[in-house]
Structure 1
């Protein structure tokens, strides 16, 4: 983690020294010395990070260095602020600036002395330590989270397990409820066995209702029953326990149901006995319980004859699972004899535990396929697993962390602030990473694109698990396996990234349960993030809300999905104090009727999200002066009529969501303003009237060469014929990668929706509206066809299209999501790979 902190600091230092060198006038030598010392020490950080777990002196030394580097960053930020606030370079002798300059110089000088001392001593630690010390193994962590979703390509060697459970399920009679237990140690694959059975097509047909409940260590009886009801499509949250159980009974009465209770830990099973008594009996219904504790299964009514104990994977299956992950790009095939030899050595150390194998496989996937690289990691891995019996999972996860690039370590540790079983928004994560500078932006890459690559880096290493993804393969929400989460929390605590040490932590999750003391004592916070669970909101007291503006060095403030007792403009009246703020998320907050006026002074802002704020009627004009803005999200703001004038000034904007053009000059920003946004990568355009586009503005999108994703929404459109005429002339950029049309008012698709005009289109979504047929240009000709891989057709009541026509014109098609469109002809509704309205020809492709 020191490596990650230093990397971020050095990147900012280099940027300022190169591009804004004069801003450091008077301190350049001091900052240059910091840079030189830190760059020298970076070559030792990988060994130091690993070895510090085994030596307390080295651990304390690196902790001191981390704090010093954070302070250097703060000084650098203050220097830039002083320059920006005065509009001049940091020289001159105004009465206001002299004391500030003196204090900065003094602080920087003291820091340099300490960093030099650490540099002189750190190498003396590493020599003897690297040769004499052995790893101490951590205890096995808390239980895993789970969901019914699974990836069948990473299920190996469980055929016998699933067959046994399916045989038991088919034997259930009408006299009661059959209870089955899956018992074993963590990481053994208990959840995967249950997921595989739960998702079997024959189980879907056999049971009228299937319910998956993830039972975390901290749960209440109410939460369990509400989870069951949500599975049954009932989101009501106002009833007491008795009413909840009564409703569950009514939903399930007379039906054959399957309930999976995954990862039960508590030996006090009285909560389950009460729920069980309220369930309707008979009809061949079944319960599956997965747990690490056999006693729990027995107390929940599972008989010995119905307890299944999965075994570790054998050598062959272990290697197959590893190959499926590590050689995913080669369809799970290892073609190198040298890599196979060292790879099997690595796999053998995992002791057949699927979680450990997948974690290590994910790590190797991201490494060059060179023998010396794999040999080095194998040697490191063996050291980690010295004298380890039952903890190879945690050792493999620690190894995966050690091998992460420095910038991904910060990204991974950001997951430590989320509560157990929390579904995490990918957008929230990547925007946080951008705002705090975790994302390395080099060689002209866009920050939003680089941040998504960071997220993919974690999912590819099996450190983050997907909860929900769209037809285009993009992930919208994720979760952290509890074993990964436990390891991440421990590392984050040791590194003062987050944790209980309020005096030093830099990141804090905002929940309803947060105490005022936690806020008051966390003076060094860099990020305060809303971590509410899906379907819930944070209720934040005013006494806590009044403290939000007290964190001088806060970079990221995320108040999304929160309810406050008083208007936010009151609570955030002093937000101008947060001069380092780069990311401000007010999404789905209440009550928010206007953006705080004091936000005007925060010119460092890069991300502003006010989405889902239905009472927000307008944005203040000063938002259009935020030249550093990268993301502006005003989507789903029903009362917002248009954006203020000046959109063209936001030349660094990469993501613009919910843009409603003004209808007339002088009211707000017109669609022509988009021409100036040369870095725009993602655009969601909302059009409802023809006069929102002049004839001379129809080419506004054509020159946006960075644009990859475009959404055009015509919800609640007026004067449909005139709007259709204008839309026919609005041609998307030639290089567009993904297009979404929502509520298109025409009966025939626009003529520009064809493989010649959009030759690089890979994903197409058409949802809602009056579309009845696709224009003849859509079908191309003998020389042209679509290169589309993913197609979504949703809620198209009148669209009549034949499946064979789609197949002919889209030979590269791999995924189709089709639902609520009754006139589609011969579309597949069942068969290999088709579930829930989604046809997949070959998941591996």
Structure 2
């Protein structure tokens, strides 16, 4: 109800009195008033009916996910886009519209934040059980989504199934699935164990296939998937997938390929045939296992916006042709030795920084590439998030010119008083992190940390001025220096 009121600031007192009378006919009682289950249902229904048709559709889509599931914001938004639920509007791109709808659901309290990113945005959310129960019921009534298993006892649909979410894959529910007409399913989500539901004959027009976290994934499943020629969204994240076959090139409509935290460490050349591919999500952020790209990636894949979790090798270091790239996350640079290769990558970052690049992540454990970024002739001025991990003492001289930067993550090797003075000038900076991961016990790195610890007689001084917007400060590593704050340093800091 608070979300309903917040989203209708122009409504007068009389309107809210009528709402209360409709929902709570017994509200005139004296003393404590305990809501009945029926009244709770009327509250949720009224709040749902007050939303626009687009927001209602986005909320119905939440029934795809099991009860109590922590839903990733980016995951949800990418699926909305792939399903065509979110479209361009008023000259704004689908990504902007999707984020607007997500934020509206947060404001409405339809979804509740449970985890935030370093830039302050919601990272994961949940749906309240009572709200989800209503959403699942309405999605079933409108034949929008069919949920099998999980916590819901739903009647099998009498008409064609269009979106199917299998949340419990035991033998009983497998038989229920076999009774349904699946030839019109265009969205398939399987939670738990993967049985035999992936026949391309049964799911010939599937556009969204989400198998994240599925157990018992076998190589023959990928062969079946490569026969689903209309696929736009494919997630094999956290499955036992080991390799992508050349037949992946048949998925000409594919826009999102998510193979994070799998055994896939190299993309086949056939991926270059997927000219509509927008998102390549690979590697493992925790272990920094990286994904090798095919050599011809840059020649055809002009639609790419996100390259995450990749390894740069000599033949894939020139990325200048990917002018729509908004995010590059490089997890490995170990094979780079030649100056021409390093120069090609540095030139690509400089060029793309003047196009659409907004997020740059580079993990450079063994080479000096991060240091060489100081030589960029012009800064990547549109960056909103930057992560540089390497043997750094001096920061790139252009870093103070990043006026839009709100999230910055650096190796602990760069933690010095002079660097903090430079960073304090970043007026938009929301989050600042200095970290060394636990598995980084390189003697040279620790030596740099120790040297910085002794800088200014062993005390790192946080400047009294600047950091006007900083709300989150994080220090993490095996060897932390002493920091000294004045009483007026970092005036907006909320969490450290």
Query: TM-score normalised by the shorter chain: which range applies?
Result: 0.7 to 0.9
Trace 1:677-696 onto structure 2 (pairs within 5 A).
Answer: 677-686=322-331, 687-688=333-334, 689-691=336-338, 693-696=341-344
Question: Matched residue of 2:197: which SS?
Answer: helix
Question: Pairwise mapping of residues 727-766 of structure 1 onto structure 2 (< 5 A)?
Answer: 727-730=373-376, 732-741=379-388, 743-753=389-399, 755=400, 757-766=401-410
Residue aligning to 2:433: 792
Q: 1:526 aligns with which of 166, 186, 197?
A: 186
Alignment match, 1:422: 69
Tell whether 2:215 aligns with 1:575. no
TM-score w.r.t. the length of structure 1 is 0.48
Q: 1:526 to 1:382 in 2, by over 3 A?
A: farther
- For 2:358, the equivalent position in structure 1 comes to 708
Cα distance change, pair 640–684 in 1 and its aligned pair in 2 (3 A): closer
Q: CA deviation at 1:690?
A: 4.7
Q: Work out whether 1:608 is the aligned partner of 2:248.
A: no
Q: In structure 2, do the counterparts of structure 1 residues 442 and 811 end up closer, same or farther at CA, with 3 Å as the change threshold? A: same
Q: Is the contact made by 2:226 and 2:251 (CA closer than 8 Å) also made in structure 1?
A: yes
CA contact (8 A) 2:68 2:126 kept: yes
Among 693, 700, 723, the residue aligned to 2:369: 723
1:826 aligns with 2:484: yes
CA-to-aligned-CA distance 1:29-48 (integer Å, 9 cap, x gap): xxxxxxxxxxxxxxxxxxxx
Distance 1:648 1:774 in 2: 44
User: What is the distance in 1 between the residues matched to 2:175 and 2:85?
Assistant: 28
Q: Secondary structure at the match of 2:308?
A: strand
**Aligned equivalent of 1:623, options 252, 271, 275:** 271
**Contact 2:162/2:186 (CA < 8 Å) preserved in 1?**
yes
Name which of 197, 200, 203 aligns with 1:544: 197
The verdict on how the C-alpha distance between 1:404 and 1:651 changes in structure 2, with shifts beyond 3 A counting, is: farther
Relative to total residues, which structure has the larger helix share, 1 or 2? 1
Rate the CA distance shift 1:553–1:758 in 2: closer, same or farther, 3 A.
same
Selected match of 1:504 from 142, 160, 167: 160
Indicate whether 1:559 and 2:211 are aligned. Answer: yes
- Shift, 1:437, TM fit: 0.9
- 1: distance between equivalents of 2:169 and 2:344? 54
Change (3 A) 1:785 1:426: closer
Pair 1:690–1:468, CA change in 2 (3 A) = farther
Q: Are positions 1:642 and 2:293 aligned together? A: yes
> After superposition, where does 1:429-448 map in structure 2 within 5 Å?
429-448=76-95
Partner of 1:835: none
Instruction: Say which structure is richer in strand.
Output: 2
Instruction: Indicate if the aligned counterparts of 1:407 and 1:440 stay in contact, CA closer than 8 A.
Output: no
Q: Does 1:808 align with 2:450?
A: no
Supply the distance in 2 between the matched residues of 1:746 and 1:456 (Cα, whole angstroms): 37
Judge conservation of contact 1:430–1:451 (CA < 8 Å) in 2: yes
Correspondence 1:97-112 to 2 at 5 A: none
Structure 2 vs 1, CA of residues 787 and 572 (structure 1 numbering), >3 Å: closer, same or farther? Answer: closer
Q: Which has the larger radius of gyration?
A: 1
2: CA distance, partners of 1:629 / 1:478: 27
Q: Helix, strand or coil: the match of 1:488?
A: helix
- Distance in 2 of aligned mates of 1:752 and 1:423: 38
Within a 5 Å distance, the mapping from 1:483-494 to structure 2 comes to 483-494=130-141
Contact 1:683/1:709 (<8 A) preserved: yes
1:779 aligns with 2:421: yes
> Does structure 2 retain, via aligned residues, the 8 Å contact 1:619–1:644?
no
Between the aligned partners of 1:770 and 1:841, the Cα distance in structure 2 is 23
CA contact (8 A) 2:249 2:270 kept: yes
Partner secondary structure for residue 611 of structure 1:
coil
Aligned partner of 2:311 in structure 1 is: 660
CA pair 491-659 structure 1, distance change in 2 beyond 3 A: same
| SS of alignment partner, residue 540 of structure 1 | coil
Q: Residue 360 of structure 2 aligns to a residue in which SS? A: strand
Task: Label 1:564 to 1:785 Cα distance change in 2 as closer, same or farther (>3 A).
Answer: closer
Q: CA deviation at 1:489?
A: 1.5
**Contact preservation (8 Å) 1:701, 1:732:** no
8 Å CA contact 1:384–1:395 kept in 2: the answer is: yes
Change (3 A) 1:827 1:707: same
Structure 2: which 5+ residue stretches go unaligned? 28-34, 148-153, 438-445
Partners in 2 of 1:605 and 1:573 — Cα distance? 15
State whether residues 222 and 244 of structure 2, in contact with CA within 8 Å, keep that contact through their aligned partners in structure 1.
no
Residues 506 and 601 (structure 1), Cα distance of their counterparts in 2 relative to 1, 3 Å cut:
same
SS in 2 for 1:564: coil
Deviations 1:554-578 (A, max 9, x none): 11101121222632xx123243442
Q: How far has the Cα of 1:621 moved from its partner?
A: 1.7
Quote the Cα distance in structure 2 between the aligned partners of 1:578 and 1:695. Answer: 40
Shift of 1:526: 2.3
Q: Deviations over 1:681-733 (max 9, x none)?
A: 2221233335484435423233443332222222xx33x3x434433335651
Instruction: Give 3-state SS (helix, strand or coil) of 1:745's partner.
Output: coil
Q: Deviation per CA, 1:321-380: give whole Å up to 9, x if none.
A: xxxxxxxxxxxxxxxxxxxxxxxxxxxxxxxxxxxxxxx22233334x4347x8767756
SS at match of 1:509: strand
How many residues align structurally? Answer: 446
Distance 1:410 1:439 in 2: 9
Q: 2:246: which partner in 1?
A: 597
Q: Residues 702 and 774 (structure 1 numbering): CA distance in 2 closer, same or farther, change over 3 Å? A: farther
SS of the residue corresponding to residue 622 of structure 1 reads: helix
Distance in 2, Cα, partners of 1:401 & 1:599: 41
The aligned counterpart of 2:31 is none
- Taking the aligned partners of 1:600 and 1:746, their CA distance within structure 2 comes to 41
Tell me how far apart the structure 2 counterparts of residues 623 and 482 of structure 1 sit (CA, whole Å): 41
CA distance, structure 2, for counterparts of residue 557 and residue 438 of structure 1: 16
- Cα pair distance change 1:587/1:647, threshold 3 Å: farther
